[in-house]
Amino acid sequence: MISLLHTADWQIGRVFSQFEPDDAAALFEARFKAVERLAAIAAERKVDAVLVAGDVFDLQTVSDKTIRRMFNAMQGFAGPWLLIPGNHDSALSESVWSRAQRLGAVAPNIVCCLEPRPHTVAGKFTLLPAPLTQRHTYGDLTDWFAAEPDEEGLPRIGLAHGCVQGILSEDIDSANPIAAGRAAQARLDYLALGDWHGTRQIDDRTWYAGTPETDRFRANDSGQALLVAIDGAGAVPAVEPVRVGQFDWQQWEPRLAVPSDIDELVRKLEQIGSGDVLQLRAQGTCDLAGHNRLGAALDAARARARALVWEGEALRLEPTEEDIQALHADGFVGEALQALREQQGDTDAELARDALLTLARILGAQQGSSHAGAGA
């Protein structure tokens, strides 16, 4: 029996420019922590090897420090690590892999499979890797698997990075194709794939592990690795997803219409914690009082969350008569407020909403000042 830990798409060095600098730095750091957790899982479960199915690095130009840190993060597991390049870190003549070798960063137990040739691993299985040597190919780099003769009695494991044909929509011509049914056609006991960032089963012997640390707002079952147990050559593998990721990325798109919708959204925001990365896209309408409540809830949630991205361009502000009366806006100011309410239906809706909020804040602040002066 052999046991493997299958992972992929570490994207080490990824820059999260859509977030505030402190949040981006934490998400950058989390990818190294994920590798450390993978090493700990591999050691705890006593696997025979860790398979890393490409896109180990996010780009070729990561710093030397990042390269060293990544390989240092793997030190918690002393067994074999078997890595292939993907489309982000393809094995060009001069690449992040050649730099890693020159830096002396690659430990003896780490095998960077930069050529399509078989490896016998610890006398327990045969690895057939299909490394990408350029970013995009339009031929199937796993073709050679079928012609490779069996090593008697050893399970055959494929390792590749690309798109199994037939997964994407028919009108999408994806680069780096992998034939559907490759595992059966090439007599593989298991085909470990990378490129798809979520965990996904293709058939009994073919799986995408997904990225071990979620990196996008998409419900694709990411943040995991796969523990694979194979009783022997020809046996169907037993595959167990294991949680690795630190952060939970969520995308909310609430439609607001009545005050109770604001109540519900505020309640949900109160549950946000330090492990959450949230993108909130609100649409619909709310009154000024509701908008103020939502703003306060967002400010509180930002302080608790790892990262929170608010997109309120599609939320129309509809102050009620009570809102306007509470601001004591009459005469010219009242007319301006009414005009801004009406302009939210025009092409400059976002500008009108922002002006309306600004004017409301000014009036509210003046009101607060006058009350304070009266109390003095």
Rg (CA), the chain: 27
Question: Residue type for 62, please?
Answer: V
The Cα 302–Cα 231 span in angstroms is 49
Same domain, 149 and 194: yes
Same domain, 222 and 269: no
Same domain, 46 and 164: yes
State how far Cα 257 lies from the chain centre: 31
* Enclosing domain of residue 192: 2-243
User: What are the phi and psi torsion angles at 117 (to 5°)?
Assistant: -145, 150
pLDDT at residue 372, as a whole number:
39
For Cα atoms 292, 297, 301, give the angle at the middle one, nearest 5 degrees: 150
Same domain, 89 and 45: yes
Residue 98: strand, helix, or coil: helix
- Distances in Å between the alpha carbon of 30 and those of 52, 196, 306? 18, 19, 11
Specify whether the CB–CB gap between 315 and 285 falls below 8 A.
yes
Same domain, 226 and 253: no
**Among 243, 262, 296, which residue terminates a domain?**
243
One digit per residue, the tens of pLDDT, for the chain of length 376 reads 999 999 999 999 999 999 999 999 999 999 999 999 999 999 999 999 999 999 999 999 999 999 999 999 999 999 999 999 999 999 999 999 999 999 999 999 999 999 999 999 999 999 999 999 999 999 999 999 999 999 888 999 999 999 998 875 555 557 899 999 999 999 999 999 999 999 999 999 999 999 999 999 987 899 999 999 999 999 999 999 999 999 999 999 999 999 999 999 999 999 999 999 999 999 999 888 898 899 999 999 999 999 999 998 888 877 776 766 665 555 555 566 566 556 655 555 566 556 656 655 555 545 444 443 444 4
pLDDT at residue 369, as a whole number:
44
Same domain, 42 and 160: yes
**How many domains in the chain?**
2
**Among 201, 221, 243, which residue terminates a domain?**
243
Specify whether the CB–CB gap between 285 and 257 falls below 8 A.
yes
The Cα 308–Cα 326 span in angstroms is 31
Spatial CA neighbour of 82 closest among 197, 168, 190: 190
The Cα 52–Cα 163 span in angstroms is 16
**Among 222, 243, 264, which residue terminates a domain?**
243
Pairing relation of β-strands 224-230 and 238-243?
antiparallel
Same domain, 273 and 171: no
Q: What is the CATH number of the domain that holds 184?
A: 3.60.21.10
Same domain, 216 and 264: no
- pTM of this prediction? 0.86
pLDDT at residue 287, as a whole number:
86
- In the chain, how long is the greatest CA-to-CA distance? 93
Same domain, 321 and 227: no
Residues 6+ apart with CB under 8 A from 310: 280, 282, 298
Specify whether the CB–CB gap between 77 and 217 falls below 8 A.
no
